[in-house]
Amino acid sequence: MTELAQAILRLATPGVQSLAPYPPGKPIDELEREYGIHNIIKLASNENPLGPSPLALAAAQKIFCDIHRYPDGNGFALKQRLAQKHAVDMAQITLGNGSNDILEFAVRAFVTPQNEVIFSEHAFAIYAIVTRAVGAKAVVTPAKNWGHDLEAMRQAITSHTRLILITNPNNPTGTWLRAAELEKLIQQVPRHVLVVVDEAYFEYVLEPEYPNAIPWVARYPNLIVTRTFSKAYGLAGLRVGYGISSAPVADILNRVRQPFNVNSAALAAATAALDDAAHVARVVALNRAGMRQLVDGFTELGLKFIPSAGNFICVDLGFAAAPIYERLLREGVIVRPVANYAMPNHLRVTTGLPEENQRFLEALRKVLKQ
Ligand SMILES: *Cc1c(COP(=O)(O)O)cnc(C)c1O
């Protein structure tokens, strides 16, 4: 680091000084540029290979005639539609520039540097970033069978705890929590502690015991449930997600929200996307088939994996995965290394189109022999 960079770093808040930026999946363009290869497939960011509903695309395109206007800072139409869908009041909804925005609001609005934020080992990397950014203490509880150990999380609560972040299902492990165990934890949490249940992959989960946490908001005023249009709805590039909580909590979250945090194309596309349940059903069916294809492929290759309820799966190579990741890049296949999640032997693969899954499995077979 240069002397100047060091001097600037010392000006940053202590929390920010400790941050490392989030490592996103490698963009296709970047791989093209760096390796000069074409015909690349990306199964690295849990994106939806079918894209959004045509209704959502049409709604977004229509907005471009009005692009000189600010978006509706209240997101009236989208909130109205969401309130109807989830049987909550509009005052219980907070709209975000992606659901990551809601996580950041929760931390900024409720967590001081004296507070502690609890989340699990192998949980979503954004949690550590938003916690450290405000200078709070991240309390990371050990995982159980790659998933959240709710008893360990409960025992980690102290008088300083202000927030517990739970991912269901979890990214990157794909593990999920059952309704009874999760609600029991929420019930046991003291009222000075807020609980976020991050349901980014909600639509994909087909397990009968998997809960929808939104109805619980009526019983637990300290609960925030987050959802996103980035995954099953296929709108990751537009950035829109939301939180549902008690109205008093939503009021606080909305205080730290920038008035125009969700752009007009995103608002229009998300609202329209909610009218196309058939599209989401197709996406979910494709994922189910893709998951079977990947699981069968791993089994054939003699590789272990963590069973996943999401649209991605972690495969265990049994040795350091980084060189395999690199070799896959040279084959034009982008997957996600998860060493930053303390999983150096795993690669996370998003389900793609059948031919993409096939190409990935063939490339994996090839590079494992190299
Ligand atoms: C992808 C993801 C999100 C959603 O991020 P957006 O900001 O809505 O795109 C949230 N939580 C988890 C665990 C995720 O994997």
> Is residue 269 within 8 Å of 62, Cβ to Cβ?
no
Starting at the edge strand that comes first in sequence, how are the strands of the sheet with 312-316 ordered? 304-306, 312-316, 346-350, 336-337
Is the omega angle on the peptide bond into residue 172 within 30 degrees of 0, that is, cis?
Answer: yes
Cα(7) to centroid(ligand 1), Å: 34
Residue 200 Cα, ligand 1 centroid: separation in angstroms?
A: 5
Q: Residue 107: CB partners within 8 Å, gap ≥ 6?
A: 117, 130, 131, 133, 134, 136, 163
54-273 CATH fold: Aspartate Aminotransferase; domain 2 (3.40.640)
Q: What is the pLDDT of residues 231-251, one digit of tens each?
A: 999 999 999 999 999 999 999
Is 23-51+278-368 CATH 3.40.1160.10? no
Distances (CA, A) of 216 to 171, 182, 219, 310: 22, 11, 5, 22
Secondary structure class of 164 (helix, strand, coil): strand
Q: Does the CB atom of residue 241 touch ligand 1 within 6 A?
A: yes
Structure tokens at 320: 């350091």
Whether the CB of 46 sits within 6 Å of ligand 1: yes
Distance CA 173, CA 307 (A): 8
For residues 313 and 321, what is the distance between their CA atoms, to the nearest angstrom? 14
What is the predicted pLDDT for the residue at 28? 93
Q: What pLDDT score does 86 carry?
A: 98
* Cα distances (Å, whole numbers) of residue 220 to 161, 187, 191, 243, 244: 17, 8, 9, 14, 12
Say if ligand 1 is within 6 A of residue 230 CB: yes
Q: Whose CA is nearest to atom 10 of ligand 1?
A: 200
CA nearest to 52, candidates 365, 280, 267? 280
- Ligand 1 binding pocket mutation candidate from 173, 231, 242, 312 (most atoms within 8 A of CB): 231
Among 210, 212, 171, 230, smallest CA distance to 349 is for: 171
pLDDT at 1: 84
Listed in order, the ranges of the chain carrying CATH 3.40.640.10 are: 54-273
Beta strands in the chain (DSSP E): 41-42, 93-96, 116-120, 137-141, 161-167, 194-198, 223-228, 241-245, 304-306, 312-316, 333-334, 336-337, 346-350
Residues of the chain with CATH 3.90.1150.10: 23-51+278-368
Taking 70 as the pLDDT cut, the residues of the chain under it are none
**Distance (Å) of CA 232 to CA 18, 94, 178, 201, 352:** 33, 20, 21, 7, 12
**In the prediction, which pLDDT does 22 show?**
80
Q: Rounded to whole angstroms, how far apart are CA atoms 25 and 96? A: 21
Q: What is the pLDDT of residue 20?
A: 82
236 close to ligand 1 (CB < 6 Angstrom): yes
Helix axes 126-133, 99-110, angle to 10 degrees: 30
Ligand 1 site-directed mutation target among 126, 127, 197, most atoms within 8 Å of CB = 126
